């Protein structure tokens, strides 16, 4: 998911068709994997024969479902780029810097979340989330000021990016908490 997010934000920052095509293919592949997991879980349900197996299967289904909710947020970000392309909206440098700051902080949060899943003693997640939230708040304020300028269509086009980034941050934090809770039970 982190690499898909990185590819999508690169497609937002550039107008290179190759990067956008690669992002689209990565997202399509993740959607294919999601369908395959749904098919797998559907077939495995009939093989469950006790309550413990049922609980473990439900836990796995919930985890995968949450990962694909993160994927859905990444798709939303990609759709923002697609709409900007359809409307021929080119982002100005101040907006590109804003995207870079948000994507950099989001990639850091992805990294710390991934590290936490492998080694549950990672305390950097809270710092990364606070930094990202600070940049999200600053981006919202900046975009609100730019929206007053009728010549800045790029600011209006990017308001969804900030909203989707906020949702993605929340989903990553919830994923961290979901795994922290599971590890605390063990």
| Among 169, 132, 154, CA closest to 15 | 154
Mean of the per-residue pLDDT values of the chain: 88
User: How many other C-beta atoms are found inside a 10 Å radius of the C-beta of residue 81?
Assistant: 25
Count of H helices and E strands in the chain? 6, 0
pLDDT surpassing 50 at residue 186: no
| Residue 76 to residue 68: CA distance in whole angstroms | 12
pLDDT surpassing 70 at residue 182: no
pLDDT tens digits along 117-128: 777 666 788 889
pLDDT tens digits along 58-71: 888 888 888 899 99
pLDDT score at 181: 60
| Among 71, 70, 66, CA closest to 181 | 66
Q: Which of 46-50, 87-91, 134-138, 180-184 has the lowest mean pLDDT?
A: 180-184
| Residue 165 to residue 140: CA distance in whole angstroms | 11
Specify the pTM. Answer: 0.84
């Amino acid at each position: 998911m982190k690499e898909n997010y990185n590819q999508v934000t690169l497609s937002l920052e550039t107008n290179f068709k190759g990067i956008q095509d690669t992002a689209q293919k990565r997202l399509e592949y993740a959607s294919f994997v999601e369908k395959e997991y749904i098919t797998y879980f559907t077939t495995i349900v009939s093989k469950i024969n006790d309550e413990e197996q049922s609980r473990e299967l439900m836990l796995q289904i919930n985890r995968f479902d949450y990962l694909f909710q993160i994927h859905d947020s990444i798709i939303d970000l990609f759709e923002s780029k697609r709409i900007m392309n359809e409307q021929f909206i080119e982002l100005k440098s101040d907006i590109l810097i804003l995207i870079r700051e948000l994507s950099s902080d989001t990639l850091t949060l992805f990294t710390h979340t991934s590290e936490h899943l492998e080694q549950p003693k990672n305390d950097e997640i809270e710092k990364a989330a606070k930094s990202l939230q600070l940049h999200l708040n600053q981006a919202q304020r900046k975009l609100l000021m730019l929206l007053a300028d009728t010549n800045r269509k790029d600011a209006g086009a990017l308001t969804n990016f900030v909203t989707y980034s906020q949702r993605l941050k929340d989903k990553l934090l919830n994923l961290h908490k979901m795994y922290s809770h599971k590890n605390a039970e063990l």
